[in-house]
């Protein structure tokens, strides 16, 4: 074996000898794979990491992480590992795995492997140095890659969810011809208020609405800025020829509206959504009658 001669050369720079050390290292890690994996899994359990996952899942994931780790050490390229880290993150993020757990387990693996290298029969101190010199930078790069991959994946997930929430947050629904409903649930921040205005005014145009019911039952409170914005939206809707009925105002919002001192005479408010829809139907000339009564009348 040619590696035998390389092994004996003193380590200089990061050329051939480092590559040799790395090969030797990978060989060592491959040979002791099962044992090291078990040790690693024990450490994970001892550290109370990945508590959301079952033992079998942890075993499956650790095995593939281990294999990818060794492959990355061997090839020295991180592309495959990056892809793997992303797909791993995709799988484990929905399970509620936290950043510290992911970084923790990769660091544990690094430590387990380093310990095993130190304890293995390496001949001389110099050889150990050479092996560690090759191992440490590669191991650190791997940790960084996995951690960055995980965080990026999580940020991507969060961005997607924010996007989804934003789209869902202000639906404009047509319940009858020329009658729109805007149910608003959750916290009203200025950005959402702006979005609401835009959606509503566009919706009035698109659906040729005459009456709009804005239901605020799901909004506990709003600051005076947002309340003011709401009043402006009602006024703007009137300029488009639509009447706005606001329903489900909480006592806190009512107080905010009174405190900012806007002219509330132009704002029609009804206690709850049902009352609001009934009022809107009256406004549009609809008359809702139970079908029994219709039968009785004919």
Partner 1 sequence: MQVPILKQGTYLIAVVQPDLSDRDLVALRDALVERVGTHRSTGVIIDVTALDVMDSFASLTLSNLASMIRLRGARTVIVGIQPEIAFTMARLGLMLTGVTTALDLEEGLAYLGRSDPRSS
Provide, rounded to whole angstroms, the least separation between the CB of residue 231 and partner 1: 8
How far apart are the C-alpha atoms of 106 and 112, rounded to whole Å?
10
Question: Which residue number, 27 or 232, has a Cβ lying nearer to partner 1?
Answer: 232
154 contacts 99 by C-beta, under 8 angstroms:
yes
Minimum gap (Å) between residue 205 Cβ and partner 1? 6
Closest approach, Cβ 191 to partner 1, in A, equals 15
State which residue, 36 or 230, has the beta carbon closest to partner 1.
Answer: 230
Residue 183 region by backbone torsions, left for phi larger than 0, else alpha for psi between -120 and 50, else beta? beta
Beta bridge partners of 215: 183, 247
- Applying CB under 8 A, the residues found at the interface with partner 1 are 197-198, 201-202, 204-205, 208, 210, 232-233, 235-242
Least distance to partner 1 from the beta carbon of 243, Å?
11
Find the helix or strand (DSSP H, E) in which 191 lies.
helix 190-207
Determine if residue 178 is left, alpha or beta; phi over 0 gives left, psi from -120 to 50 gives alpha, anything else beta: left
Q: Which lies closer to partner 1 via its Cβ, residue 170 or residue 233?
A: 233
Please say which residue, 149 or 203, places its beta carbon nearer to partner 1.
203
Min CB(142)–partner 1 separation in Å: 53
Tell me whether residue 222 or residue 242 sits nearer to partner 1 (CB atom).
242
Residue 232, CA distances (Å) to 198, 236, 248, 263, 289 in order: 12, 6, 18, 11, 35
């Amino acid at each position: 074996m040619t590696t035998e001669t390389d092994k004996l050369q003193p380590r200089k720079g990061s050329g051939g000898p480092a590559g040799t050390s790395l090969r030797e290292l990978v060989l060592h890690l491959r040979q002791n794979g099962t044992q090291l994996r078990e040790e690693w899994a024990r450490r994970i359990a001892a550290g109370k990491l990945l508590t959301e996952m079952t033992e079998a899942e942890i075993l499956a994931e650790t095995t593939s992480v281990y294999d990818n780790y060794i492959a990355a050490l061997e090839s020295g390229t991180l592309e495959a590992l990056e892809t793997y880290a992303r797909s791993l993150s995709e799988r484990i993020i929905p399970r509620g795995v936290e950043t510290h757990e992911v970084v923790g387990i990769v660091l544990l693996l690094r430590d387990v492997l380093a310990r095993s290298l130190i304890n293995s029969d390496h001949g001389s101190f110099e050889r150990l140095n050479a092996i560690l010199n090759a191992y440490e930078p590669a191991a650190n790069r791997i940790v960084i890659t996995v951690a960055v991959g995980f965080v990026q994946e999580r940020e991507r997930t969060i961005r997607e969810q924010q996007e989804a929430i934003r789209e869902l947050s202000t639906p404009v629904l047509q319940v009858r011809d020329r009658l729109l409903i805007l149910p608003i649930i959750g916290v009203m921040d200025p950005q959402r208020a702006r979005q609401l205005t835009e959606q509503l005014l566009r919706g009035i145009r698109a659906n040729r609405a005459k009456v709009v019911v804005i239901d605020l039952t799901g909004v506990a409170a709003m600051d005076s800025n947002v309340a003011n914005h709401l009043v402006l939206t009602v006024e703007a809707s009137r300029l488009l020829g639509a009447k706005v009925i606001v329903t489900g105002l909480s006592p806190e919002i009512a107080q905010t509206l009174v405190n900012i001192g806007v002219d509330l005479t132009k704002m029609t408010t009804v206690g709850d959504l049902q009352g609001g829809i009934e009022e809107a139907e009256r406004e549009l000339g609809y008359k809702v009658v139970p079908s029994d009564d219709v039968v009785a009348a004919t």
